[in-house]
Amino acid sequence: MELMTMAMDGFTLVLANASNSAQGKGVSANAIAANIADPIANTQNTVAASFTQVGVGLHSGATVRVTVLPAAEHTGRVFVRTDQADATPIPATASSVVSTQMSTELGNGAVGNGAVGNGAVGNGAVTVRTVEHLLAALVAAGVDNARIEIDGPEVPLLDGSAQLWMEAIAQVGLQAQSAPRSSLTLTTPLWVQREDAFVVAFPAAEPRFTYGIDFPVAAIGKQWHSWCPSTESFSDTVASARTFTLAHHIEQLRQQGLIKGGSLDNALVCDAQTGWLNPPLRFPNEPVRHKLLDLIGDLSLLGGFPQAHVVAYKASHTLHTEFARRWQET
């Protein structure tokens, strides 16, 4: 999820009633590792059984139920809005992106500018937003094919990270499939850029993701983190990094009708003068690890991990998804 904020009244943080019914099950790192697949293996997987999470959407504030079910080979990861009659499925692909306002929003038809609403735009066309954390967990766990049923307009934020999704996937395990995965290879560098922000990929022997951020706040400042799926566990090093916010951005986003479901339970909040309002951090560089999580979720729209070293700096969902579209066009 993009850098987000929560409601404030003067210097007093106003907490939303955003408690999630989905709670961590205390799944150990070893249990997660034993029940997920190699995300860079050659063949496809689906979940071995369905699982459900219920929680509050960050921007809509709506309580939403999501059920992830097994799907056949070559289905891909597909969202289905069960609250909208006759709504056609929404494939989690780069061509389905309809808005990147503070999160990634997918749709199955012509839509507007992504303003928060019920995600229904008529004629069977619907949207679903804030998909990036769930998608990051699915691709990192090696889930190629899944039917994702959702009864509202936005994937619940849960604790602000991808860890609860990873635990849920590990609890049901994966079902191996025989179909080969598509190869995502690169022969020359590819990039998108806006001023000093960019996403660039270089040909590489194996996937690697590197992210850098630079915030004019002492508690965050300059941070970098790099992750390679062949050598490090996503669950151990990236999945639990939570979304974060700068307190002084809060009122502006409230006026835009956003962050209705934000709370200190699902995001870190940083004040420019006093630092973090709800420590401790899970990692010293948790903010950049969360941005890396967002990048992985957005690039899952390519179908899997690209065989490249992807480097992002001060990027956003807009640049992430623009890069994914550029890759598809090559």
Active site residues: 317
Cα–Cα distance measured from residue 63 to residue 195, given in angstroms and rounded to the nearest whole number? 38
Give the N- to C-terminal CA distance of the chain in Å, as an integer: 27
d(C-alpha 271, C-alpha 261), whole Å: 20
- Cα–Cα distances in angstroms (integers) from residue 272 to residues 250, 265, 276, in the given order: 13, 20, 9
Backbone φ and ψ of 223, nearest 5°:
-140, 145
Residue 107 structure tokens = 């749709």
d(CA 282, CA 94): 31
Conformation bin of residue 303: beta by default, left when phi > 0, alpha when psi is -120 to 50: left
Task: Looking at the chain, list the stretches that DSSP marks H as alpha helix, in order from N- to C-terminal side.
Answer: 29-34, 132-140, 163-172, 234-237, 250-255, 286-299, 317-329
Main-chain phi, psi angles of 166, to 5 degrees: -60, -40
The total number of residues written for the chain in this structure: 330
Residue 177 CA to residue 74 CA, distance in Å, equals: 10
